[in-house]
């Protein structure tokens, strides 16, 4: 019986048939996989941020004057933190930093001056979250007492320092947040505002891990018929403390305005009559602790 002969040979695999799995490559401060950087198109790397509306899902609301929009926290957390990192917010307010920390698998320590607001904001979190993930400290952020309380909480949470610092102070005296003399919105002068802000920023610097990042969210103001450059003056104070400036982001404020349009004509008239311009932006300034 004749044997069937075959000349069939195994063809070498084409490059397209081979799936090369690259190892995950991250920085020390982020979970972003740099070997798959094209998958992170939603993470902003430019200096102009436009958000047409304020995010209202995920436990967020806009019932409190002066709270920053959650999209800023989302961008900062994904860019500058890893899962389970601790975010320190020294102007906690209505709790945006804490809410988004829960949503994104981070932890948060917030310092709030007003005891009634701190108590109200705590209701946004479950009793378990207030033990394991979010801690709200009622204190003056410029004080040594606040610094010691944050240190104690960091120790309980198993860390010596925080991994991201958020500073969203009042914009001088534009909005009065309380009657407390320690409140930055009650400073007798803009220069006093800068001095008190620097004390808060110094506490933040001391409580932040080396090499990690800080974000200053702030806008400017008008006083005595001229612009008060709050953002740049506070930026300079932070740089004097040792923070390295990494970026100045201009963010539109349309998503954070209340009753938009109701007084637009009045402000336009005032601008034309007074020779000034209407603020439509605020700053998100990024720093790194050297």
In the chain, the domains with their CATH numbers are 46-289 (3.40.50.150)
pLDDT at 58 exceeding the cut of 60: no
What angle, 0 to 180 degrees and rounded to 10, lies between the N-to-C axes of helices 96-103 and 70-80?
Answer: 50
Please report which confidence band the pLDDT of residue 20 belongs to, taking 50, 70 and 90 as the band edges: confident
Inter-residue contact 50 to 249 (CB < 8 Å): no
- What's the rounded Cα separation, in Å, for the pair 108 and 92? 10
Give the mean pLDDT of the chain. 89
Handedness of CA 269, 274, 275, 278 (dihedral sign): negative
Cα separation values, 265 from 164, 199, 260, Å: 40, 39, 11
What is the bridge-based pairing of β-strands 162-167 and 281-289? Answer: unpaired
Residues 162-205: pLDDT tens digits? Answer: 999 999 999 888 888 888 888 888 889 999 999 999 999 999 99
pLDDT at 259 exceeding the cut of 60: no
pTM for the whole thing? 0.87
């Amino acid at each position: 019986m004749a044997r069937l002969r075959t000349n069939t040979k195994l063809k070498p695999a084409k490059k397209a048939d081979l799936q090369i799995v690259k190892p995950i490559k991250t920085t020390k401060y982020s979970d972003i996989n740099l070997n798959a950087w094209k998958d992170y198109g939603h993470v902003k790397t430019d200096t102009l941020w436009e958000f047409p509306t304020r995010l209202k899902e995920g436990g967020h609301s806009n019932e409190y004057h002066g709270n920053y929009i959650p999209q800023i926290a989302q961008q900062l957390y994904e860019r500058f933190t890893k899962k389970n990192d601790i975010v320190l917010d020294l102007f906690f307010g209505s709790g945006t930093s804490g809410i988004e920390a829960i949503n994104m698998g981070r932890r948060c320590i917030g310092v709030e001056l007003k005891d009634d607001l701190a108590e109200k904001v705590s209701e946004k979190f479950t009793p378990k979250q207030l033990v394991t993930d979010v801690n709200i400290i009622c204190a003056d952020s410029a004080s040594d007492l606040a610094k010691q309380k944050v240190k104690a909480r960091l120790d309980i949470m198993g860390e010596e320092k925080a991994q991201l610092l958020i500073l969203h102070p009042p914009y001088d005296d534009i909005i009065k947040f309380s009657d407390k003399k320690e409140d930055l919105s009650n400073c007798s002068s803009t220069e006093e505002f800068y001095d008190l802000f620097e004390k808060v920023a110094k506490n933040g610097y001391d409580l932040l891990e080396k090499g990690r990042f800080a974000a200053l969210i702030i806008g400017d103001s008008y006083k005595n018929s001229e612009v008060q450059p709050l953002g740049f003056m506070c930026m300079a104070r932070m740089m004097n403390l040792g923070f390295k400036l990494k970026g100045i982001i201009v963010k539109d404020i349309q998503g954070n305005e209340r009753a938009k349009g109701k007084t637009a004509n009045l402000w336009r008239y005032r601008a034309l009559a007074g020779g000034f311009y209407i603020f439509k932006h605020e700053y998100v300034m990024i720093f790194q602790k050297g």
